[in-house]
Amino acid sequence: MKKYNFSAGPSILSPYTIENTAKGILNLNDSGLSVMEISHRSKDFIAILAEAQELFKELLRIPDGYSVLFLHGGASLQFAMIPYNYLNKKAAYLDTGTWAANAIKEAKLFGEVAVVGSSKDKIYNYIPKDYTVPADADYFHITTNNTIYGTEIKKDLDCKVPLIADMSSDIFSRPMDVSKYTMIYGGAQKNLAPAGVAFVIIKNDSLGKVDRAIPTMLSYATHIEKDSMFNTPPCLSIYAALHTLRWYKQIGGIEVMYKANLKKAALLYDEIERNKMFVANIPNVEDRSIMNVTFVMSEAYKEKEADFAKFASSLGIVGIAGHRSIGGFRASIYNAMPIETVAVLTNAMKEFESKN
């Protein structure tokens, strides 16, 4: 049976990525070798890494003076590396969910943390807007897309202190102005590649401002200097990322991706609004994520939640259970998801409504 995978992460990758990665696993560029069994210092792998970095720069229009790194440890290791490398006295954080809170927890190990705003009071169902970032903060950290709750900061903020963003679940989903950020990072397993690699876009001259000694592997300076090759990088995940990046370019780049994402999100949110059985979890329309759409049963149909889950599953719809912290449903409609798959879900919602 065909499956429609709405999993939040690891999540779907484009067929282009999976097919071409599979080819390289069996026989890389007709070399008779697998991409998994060649040296990371071989000509073939160095070309893979260089093209992936180039495509990052081209697709996101990354200005000169930034490096693109591929590191181990997922987004969660970045939660610690960021304060290790940047927090001298005080850092500012916006608390928009579990991932933001995890980042805050790590930063507190290194210095003073000013949590300038939090939406925890309403189970993170909005993006705080009235806050002031202290002018003496070493940096301001935000999570642009809150994967668990379905909220998103959809524009690049103007910020007087260095801006650092976790874009694990919305990188490449919209055009953005990288020059507004000092550092952008994320785990690859939502919009880029299988798990095992984190991407980091970092302004080269932003480092060297903390007094502490930094272990070699945890220092961004090491990875910039060694171009992500200080030790063996996660070669296979980087290879898969390269194919996703090629696919982004092939379909016309990030503007095209963005338009498709807006259409997909509108299709699903419109159905949630129209359908008497469902309610969007995020009340404020401008805070609604175009990557993770969260919704619950409306008051009158609360007891139908398990029935809908079963009905959806009978149609091959997979991965729509909400995160255990908020319940209900979450449909992750990442870049690789075609609108036809979103329509399978909206049609299921319509059918379920007419049956009830």
Which positions touch ligand PLP (CB under 6 A)? 9, 74-76, 99, 143, 147, 166, 168-169, 187, 190
DSSP element (H, E) containing 117 = strand 112-118
Catalytic residue among 166, 170, 247, 287: 166
Q: How far is the CB of 145 from ligand PLP (least distance, A)?
A: 6
Tell me how far apart the alpha carbons of residues 333 and 267 are, in angstroms, rounded to a whole number. 11
Catalytic residue among 99, 170, 203, 287: 99
* 166 noted as active-site residue: yes
DSSP 322: P
Residue with tokens 């495509």: 55
**What's the token pair of residue 13?**
């990758």
Tell me how far apart the alpha carbons of residues 132 and 233 are, in angstroms, rounded to a whole number. 39
Catalytic residue among 95, 138, 170, 190: 190
Q: How far is the CB of 190 from ligand PLP (least distance, A)?
A: 6
Tell me how far apart the alpha carbons of residues 118 and 139 are, in angstroms, rounded to a whole number. 17
Q: How far is the CB of 36 from ligand PLP (least distance, A)?
A: 21
Side chain identity at residue 310, one-letter code:
K
Comparison of 165 and 277: residue with beta carbon closer to ligand PLP: 165
Q: How far is the CB of 348 from ligand PLP (least distance, A)?
A: 25
**What's the token pair of residue 280?**
């969007």
**What ranges in 60-193 are assigned the alpha helix state H?**
74-86, 98-107
Comparison of 97 and 352: residue with beta carbon closer to ligand PLP: 97
**Which residues lie across from 291 on neighbouring strands?**
none
* 89 noted as active-site residue: no
* 190 noted as active-site residue: yes
Residues with a known catalytic role: 99, 166, 190
